[in-house]
């Protein structure tokens, strides 16, 4: 079956760095997405990886290892507004997004 | 980036009535649109995939006669919740994939929160 695993909740301190991990098992693979979702709002796109390696975009970076079925989202210089759920999603061979349950990130002052 | 508009943002209705939610791609042609539902503290669940001009493909466990999806044009898809009941109260979100979008990136609407009394 298809499956996405990511931690349920993480806590970090303002100004620090946090890494949110995601492992996936899908029927075929066409890329890995990270989305940010604040409570009561729709998800917003953060990153897309289809090749192995690290993609950096400002304070956020995303890494992918296809051979390991593994990705992580790295958030630097954490701000209070980064408190949100972070959703990992893999695109399978039919271009269907397989979603993880999301990681709730709590930022403390 | 591309813009997807969803309407209405909030809707409250009586049990037994039908509610229509619209999803529009404002600056691109969306060959494929997806409809999701999210219950409180749960992840997004794909309900159905609709391709312009053809019948929607529903995920297992989703009643196609209850959740009517129409994708009549390249910029508009609608979800109609028929004979709504309180258990249908949820956050409904659409997303759109443009023609030639090789990355498969999806663009999300703002979401519609449905409350059935």
pLDDT exceeding 70 applies to what percent of chain B?
91
B107/A45 Cβ within 8 A: yes
**If we measure between CA atoms, which residue out of A69, A65, A100 comes closest to residue A85?**
A100
User: pLDDT confidence of B99, banded at 50, 70, 90?
Assistant: low
Nearest to A42 among B1, B93, B103 (CB): B93
Contact B49, B56 (CB under 8 A): yes
Greatest C-alpha distance within chain A: 43
Mean pLDDT of chain A: 92
Q: What's the average model confidence in pLDDT over B82-90?
A: 95
Give the model's pLDDT for residue B104.
55
**If we measure between CA atoms, which residue out of B84, B87, B59, B55 comes closest to residue B69?**
B55
pLDDT exceeding 90 applies to what percent of chain B?
54
Mutate to test the interface with B, among A28, A34, A41, A43 (most CBs of B within 10 A): A43
Q: How many CB pairs under 8 A join A and B?
A: 47
Residue B86: strand, helix, or coil:
helix
Examine the pLDDT at A40 and tell me if it is beyond 90.
Answer: no
A43/B43 Cβ within 8 A: no
For the sheet containing A3-5, what is the strand order? Answer: A3-5, A18-25, A70-75, A60-65, A53-57
Mean pLDDT of chain B: 87
Q: What's the average model confidence in pLDDT over B74-86?
A: 94
pLDDT exceeding 70 applies to what percent of chain A?
99
Give the model's pLDDT for residue B53.
82
| Strand-strand pairing, B76-81 and B19-25 | antiparallel
Q: How far apart are CA A55 and CA A69, in angstroms?
A: 16
Examine the pLDDT at A15 and tell me if it is beyond 70.
Answer: yes
The minimum CA-CA distance between B103 and chain A, rounded to whole Å, is: 8
Q: How far apart are CA B103 and CA A51, in angstroms?
A: 12
């Amino acid at each position: 079956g298809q499956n996405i695993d990511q931690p349920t909740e993480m806590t970090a301190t303002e100004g620090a760095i946090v890494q949110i991990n995601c492992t996936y098992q899908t029927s075929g693979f066409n890329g890995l997405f990270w989305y940010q979702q604040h409570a009561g709002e729709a998800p917003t796109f953060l990153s897309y990886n289809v090749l192995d390696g690290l993609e950096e975009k400002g304070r956020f970076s995303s890494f992918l290892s296809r051979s390991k079925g593994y990705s992580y989202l790295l958030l630097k210089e954490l701000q209070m507004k980064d408190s949100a759920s972070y959703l990992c999603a893999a695109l399978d061979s039919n271009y269907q997004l397989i979603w993880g349950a999301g990681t709730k990130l709590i930022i403390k002052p | 980036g591309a813009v997807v508009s969803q309407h209405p943002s909030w809707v409250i209705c009586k049990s037994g009535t039908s509610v229509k939610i619209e999803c529009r791609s404002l600056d691109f042609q969306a060959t494929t649109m997806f409809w999701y539902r999210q219950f409180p503290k749960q992840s997004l669940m794909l309900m159905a995939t609709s391709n312009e001009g053809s019948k929607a493909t529903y995920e297992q466990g989703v009643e196609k006669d209850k959740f009517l999806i129409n994708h009549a044009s390249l910029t508009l898809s609608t979800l109609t919740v028929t004979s709504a009941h309180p258990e249908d109260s949820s956050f409904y979100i659409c997303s759109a994939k443009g023609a030639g979008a090789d990355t498969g990136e999806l663009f999300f609407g703002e979401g519609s929160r449905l409350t059935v009394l």
